[in-house]
Structure 1
Amino acid sequence: MTRPVQASIHLAALRHNLSQVRYAAPHSRVWAVVKADAYGHGLSRVWSALSGADGFAMLNLEDAIQLRERGWKGPILMLEGFFDAQELALFDRYRLTTSLHSRWQIKALADARLSAPLDVYLKINSGMNRLGFVPEQVHRVWRQLRELKNVGEMTLMAHFADADRPDGVDAPMARISQAAEGLEAPRSLANSAATLWHPQTHYDWVRPGIVLYGASPSGRWCDIASAGLRPAMTLSSEIIGVQTLKAGERVGYGSRYCASGEQRIGIVACGYADGYPRVAPDGTPVLVGGVRTGLVGTVSMDMLAVDLTPCPQAGIGTPVELWGEQIRIDDVAAASGTIGYELMCALAPRVPVVTA
């Protein structure tokens, strides 16, 4: 028998979540963000389920080439642009839209020999101070780009650091308005949080990421509980061993958990080498045989332990949901002091993946 841990990717949930994005932003086109191997879901597995989007947005050139070779003919946006001038030959060959956030990229684009102009997304620094041009530079850069024969359609692009807060887009939008004053150009500003909660940011293109996969951009499931989103990944396993503890007996490395009385403990075939967070504390939610219970003791490389007190019927072979439809990945992440994004992306290569 193979080790029972596996991840299930729910393609219907991805299609449903895309439809919810369109409901939230009915007048905008949609970039489906599939960076980080589609947030750990596997680009090769999920792209067809998201092919109802108007385009795909990503980071890695290899992923863009994979999509083209699999038959995607629509727009592809490279969110960080090209990393070396030599890559422009492939951008040209595969007709990729590039973001531009640095002067060296503009020079490289000006000097490149292309078969046809490339569409570009000019990145505005909205105050997050990662990439992009500050508002005072945007008009000058815009005029410079308009004069280049290698530049096709131009779109203004920005990002929000705090769109999960009610007032989180106010200051960035003021900066963007300053930068774009007088420019007649399409805009792409809204990430997942802005798509859900700030319709004034939607403009021509929205760029949803985490919500396509059914988790919350704020890291709190309660914030999207009414949004109609469905988890696209389930991490599941089974109980492979049972221990009955006496009062004072302990569980796992470091003896962190101590039984206060007689207690049945289930050992589950999943650990931090599978992508489950080692730092998850006692009480982190787990579903055992359809019953909600909690983690006990430190997560090991290959195993973790759960309290079987609420589910006395459980034994070897009982199914366990570690996150998915009933145990929200956001809740596991919050208990572990992180966000659902990280857990999705940390799914280990050794975990078998099935599509459902």
Structure 2
Amino acid sequence: MRPARALIDLQALRHNYQLARETAGAKALAVIKADAYGHGAVRVAQALQSEADGFAVACIEEALELRQAGIRAPILLLEGFFEADELALIVEHEFWCVVHSMWQVEAIEHAPVGKPLNIWLKMDSGMHRVGVHPDEYQSAYHRLLATGKVASVVLMTHFARADELGSGRTDEQVAIFQSAREGLAAQVSLRNSPGVMGWPTVPSDWVRPGIMLYGATPFDQAQSVADRLQPVMTLESRVICVRELPAGEPVGYGGAFVTDRAMRIGVVAMGYADGYPRQAPTGTPVAVEGQRSQLLGRVSMDMLCVDLTDVPTAGVGSRVELWGKQVLASDVAASAGTIPYQIFCNLKRVPRLYSEA
């Protein structure tokens, strides 16, 4: 069978969750939306269910998949409900629900609800994506409690620039949030992965670690907590063909790379149809049989080429790590002009193999 595969280290996943909770000193919802950022939501939830305070997903479809797999822990719907009639399923399956718009408040006021809801009331403190306007926040809170249909409310917002450690925008958003929620007696949730890692003084009873669970840093600079993360996914394949080329020979589509000396080129069973970024340029790091090397030329749908010139023992069948514990996903993403979130989420076609080490 084709040798491309993604190895998922569940022990590293648990290490990262524990690091997030301990660093934050708070309860932590493991964010496993988008199929756990490409790692497999059900298996990730099963691996964390004995210690996680709960999970967070984007939508009810993702939450139902977890319930059907036997996950009984709290599950927060980060985008809330899209239609009022979803409230029946939310109640039936005891999902926690973000409310980010006044129309959702009104929908709850008018909906027949059999059991009280657990609501996370989201404020737009400056990201201007979704969230109740600060001027309406107190009203939304009191209207929800007045319905008699709400068991608890957690106050939340989302940071736009927490991954920029030198930016003052996070402090500005905290100040807006604190001013608008003054006097409301409720727990708060302000910190996502960059918030947990880089903004330790921001108050948060609940945190929402996402990318850090998977062992990748949200920052483009060195950071002390990032240094303690363990990569969870190793994307690997094998060399399926070797070419010995003299200087001056083009490699791959468009001749985007031309050999500048006599070189050994390895063709690897991995391409953009697997989720490897097509835009990754020559020089993007790979590891061949544990030795650092580089991508050469354009990435094809099913194959890519790597430099074997300085790895004389490598040949057909040699293992190639595209990202993982030797080649960090954040380094590959930076080379490709993207972010590790995207390259994880783009993973497809390759089988995922799970292990405890």
Give me the TM-score of the superposition, normalised by structure 1: 0.96
In structure 2, relative to structure 1, the CA distance for the partners of 1:181 and 1:225 (3 Å cut) is closer
CA change 1:271–1:340 in 2 (3 A) is: same
The answer as to whether partners of 1:297 and 1:305 remain within 8 angstroms in 2 is yes
Q: Which residue of 2 aligns with 1:241?
A: 241
Confirm or deny: 8 A CA contact 1:216 1:224 kept in the other structure: no
Whether 1:302 aligns to 2:284 is no
Q: Taking structure 1 as reference, are residues 225 and 286 closer, same or farther at Cα in structure 2, changes over 3 Å only?
A: farther
2:37 aligned partner:
39
Paired position in structure 2 for 1:82: 81
Could you say what the CA RMSD is over the residues aligned between the two structures, in angstroms?
1.3
Report the Cα distance in structure 2 between the residues aligned to 1:134 and 1:63, rounded to whole angstroms. 27
**What is the CA deviation profile of residues 230-288 of structure 1, one whole-angstrom value per residue up to 9, with x for unaligned ones?**
11101000000000111110100000101111111010010111100111000000000
Q: Does the Cα contact within 8 Å between 2:80 and 2:99 map onto a contact in 1? A: yes
Shift of 1:168: 4.2
Q: What residue in structure 1 maps to residue 205 of structure 2?
A: 204
Shift of the 224–282 alpha-carbon distance from structure 1 to 2, 3 Å rule, reads farther
* Contact 1:214–1:230 (8 Å) recurs in 2: yes
Q: Does the aligned pair in 2 maintain the 1:25–1:202 contact within 8 Å?
A: no
**Cα gap change, 1:225 to 1:325, in 2 (>3 Å):** farther
Q: Which residue of 1 aligns with 2:171?
A: 170
- 1:49/1:168 CA distance change after superposition, 3 Å: farther
Match of 2:182 in 1: 181
**1:222 counterpart SS class:** coil
1:271 and 1:180 map into 2 onto residues whose CA distance is 49
Runs of at least 5 residues in structure 2 that lack an aligned partner in the other structure: none
Offset at 1:224?
5.5
Distance 1:171 1:250 in 2: 52
Percent identity over the alignment is: 49
Q: Aligned pair in 2 of structure 1 residues 23, 91: CA closer, same or farther (>3 Å)?
A: same
Does 1:136 find its partner at 2:143? Answer: no
The alignment status of 1:190 with 2:188, answered yes or no, reads no
- In 2, the alpha carbon distance for the partners of 1:115 and 1:225 equals 43
Which 4+ stretches in 1 moved above 3 angstroms? 220-227
Match in the other structure for 1:353: 352
Q: How does 1:151-170 map to 2 (within 5 A)?
A: 151-166=150-165, 167-170=168-171
How far apart are the structure 2 equivalents of 1:93 and 1:78?
A: 14
Displacement after TM superposition at 1:49 (Å): 1.6
Q: Tell me if the contact between 1:77 and 1:97 (Cα under 8 Å) persists in the aligned partners.
A: yes
Give 1:72 shift: 2.6
Amino acid at match of 2:57: M
Matches of 1:97 and 1:45, distance apart in 2? 21
> Per-residue deviation at 1:222?
3.4
Matches within 5 A, 1:111-126: 111-126=110-125
Gaps of at least 5 residues in structure 1 are none
Q: CA deviation at 1:29?
A: 0.6
Residue 301 of structure 1 deviates from its aligned partner by 0.5
**Which residue in 1 is equivalent to 2:256?**
256
Alpha-carbon shift at residue 34 of structure 1 (Å): 0.5
**Contact 2:45–2:71, Cα closer than 8 Å, also in 1:** no
- For 1:58 and 1:88, the matched residues in 2 are separated by 16
SS at match of 2:151: strand
* CA shift digits 1:122-171 (9 cap, x unpaired): 11101000001121111121121121121220111100011122334211
Aligned position for 2:218: 217
Paired AA for residue 127 in structure 1 = G
Distance in structure 2 (CA, Å) of the matches to 1:49 and 1:103: 36
Aligned residues: 352
* Structure 1 residue 221, shift from structure 2 partner: 6.9
Counterpart CA distance in 1 for 2:206 and 2:317 is 47
2:9, 2:203 → 1: CA distance? Answer: 27
- The aligned amino acid for 2:189 is S
Q: Which residue of 2 aligns with 1:50?
A: 48
Go from structure 1 to structure 2 and tell me whether the alpha carbon gap of 1:326 and 1:121 turns closer, same or farther (over 3 Å shift).
Answer: same
